[in-house]
């Protein structure tokens, strides 16, 4: 951006070059501007500062006077208009044969005086913070959600309930039902706590679905001392860990894309999937140990054994390790939900 003083100097230099016989487009090219820019600068006279901050902006001839602006504010301050927006005030005044300003001018005047705010008794929309969970061990935070499984005919679905440990990614609770309800989800959570035979989780995180906010689940969590946290409304990626496991389910090679024949078939397939996922699936986020090994604390010994093997192999064949570094087999110590998201609410 060229300052106002530099613009004036540039105009003088170009004019001197032109008087000496140079053409305008050649002189402008040397300065680094176009002829059109030069003409625009010259048309502005001494005020060549454009519309930048600090420029002097003359008052438009059609602007409202101070008395007219005050009249608009006085009307908006009346009791009958105190809870109405300009979109309602202007038509009412027009029905009474009164015209003070346009609707957009009403808004501008209110905004200039810091009064263009929520005016009714209803609660204004609020921006919710991103819920962030940071865990360093199993059974601290569980995440849950419900997904659809295709049935034998189009339009018929079964409901897959999952409860997963955030730290280890282990599926600690699951079931398939024909309906979606808070009671079913409460049963899945209660069975998960009994299956773990340890302390109950501190937090249960979910989205804002009605089963997650139903009385059955809330009463169970209250009795067990579990705190419920939720994703932001209409935000699909605040519970990404549980959504990722549902994608793993739907892209499993054995998943019947034509639909399950009946409820028992769906339950049997889900049981086999969960067993294979917890026991045999090496999770990339866990440095390729299974969720079950991570949940039971066996990952430390497994990853240490891998590290020792690589170090031993490196000593035996040092020429094959160009950068002198072996693969990183460091265990994952902390798992963070919504890591790197702005305006996070830590729980």
Q: Is 50 exceeded by the pLDDT of residue 173? A: yes
Cα of 50 vs its chain's centroid, Å: 39
Choose among 210, 175, 208: nearest CA to 189: 175
43: which 2 tokens? 């048309």
What whole-number distance in Å separates Cα of residue 318 and Cα of residue 322? 8
Please give the C-alpha separations between residue 246 and each of 53, 105, 232, in angstroms, as whole numbers: 53, 52, 20
CATH architecture for residues 130-286:
2-Layer Sandwich (3.30)
- Ranges of each domain in the chain: 4-43, 66-112, 130-286, 294-333
23: Cα within 13 Å, side-chain hemisphere: 4
Please give the C-alpha separations between residue 232 and each of 118, 132, 203, in angstroms, as whole numbers: 22, 11, 16
Angle at 96 between CA 94 and CA 98, to 5 degrees: 55
User: Is the pLDDT higher at 339 or at 231?
Assistant: 231
pLDDT of residue 345: 47
Q: How confident is the model at residue 55 (pLDDT cuts 50, 70, 90)?
A: low
Helix, strand, or coil here: 205?
strand
Q: Note the pLDDT tens digit of each residue in 93-138.
A: 999 999 999 999 999 999 998 888 776 677 777 777 788 888 999 9
Work out the percent of the chain whose per-residue pLDDT is above 90: 54
Q: Which of 32-46, 167-181, 223-237, 288-302 has the lowest mean pLDDT?
A: 32-46
pLDDT of residue 336: 86
Q: Who's near 69: CB < 8 A, 6+ residues apart?
A: 109
Please give the C-alpha separations between residue 56 and each of 10, 11, 42, 45, 246, in angstroms, as whole numbers: 21, 21, 17, 14, 60
């Amino acid at each position: 951006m060229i300052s106002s003083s530099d613009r004036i100097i540039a105009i003088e230099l170009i004019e001197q070059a032109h008087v000496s016989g140079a053409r305008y487009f050649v002189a402008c090219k040397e300065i680094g501007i176009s002829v059109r820019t030069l003409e625009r600068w010259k048309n502005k006279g001494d005020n060549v500062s454009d519309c930048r901050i600090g420029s002097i902006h003359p008052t438009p001839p059609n602007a409202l006077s101070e008395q007219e602006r005050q009249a608009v504010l006085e009307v908006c301050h009346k009791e009958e208009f105190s809870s109405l927006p300009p979109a309602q005030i202007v038509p009412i005044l027009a029905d009474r044969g009164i015209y003070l300003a346009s609707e957009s001018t009403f808004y501008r005047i209110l905004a200039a005086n810091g009064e263009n705010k929520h005016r009714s008794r209803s609660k204004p929309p609020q921006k919710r913070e991103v819920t962030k969970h940071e865990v360093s061990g199993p059974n601290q935070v569980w995440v849950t959600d419900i997904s659809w499984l295709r049935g034998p005919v189009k339009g018929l679905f079964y409901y897959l309930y999952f409860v997963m440990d955030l730290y280890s990614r282990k599926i600690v609770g699951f079931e398939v039902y024909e309906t979606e309800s808070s009671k079913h989800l409460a049963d899945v959570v209660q069975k998960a706590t009994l299956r773990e035979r340890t302390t109950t989780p501190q937090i249960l995180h979910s989205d804002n679905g009605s089963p997650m906010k139903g009385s059955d689940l809330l009463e169970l969590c209250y009795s067990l001392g579990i705190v419920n946290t939720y994703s932001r409304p209409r935000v699909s990626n605040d519970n990404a860990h549980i959504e990722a496991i549902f994608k793993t389910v739907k892209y499993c090679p054995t998943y019947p894309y034509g639909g399950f024949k009946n409820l028992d078939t769906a339950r049997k397939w889900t049981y086999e999937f969960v067993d294979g996922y917890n026991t045999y699936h090496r999770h990339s986020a866990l440095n390729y140990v299974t969720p079950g090994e991570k949940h039971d604390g066996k990952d430390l010994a497994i990853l240490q054994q891998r590290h020792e093997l690589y170090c031993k192999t490196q000593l035996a064949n040092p020429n094959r390790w160009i950068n002198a570094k072996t693969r990183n087999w460091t265990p994952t110590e902390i798992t963070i939900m919504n890591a790197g998201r702005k305006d996070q609410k830590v729980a």
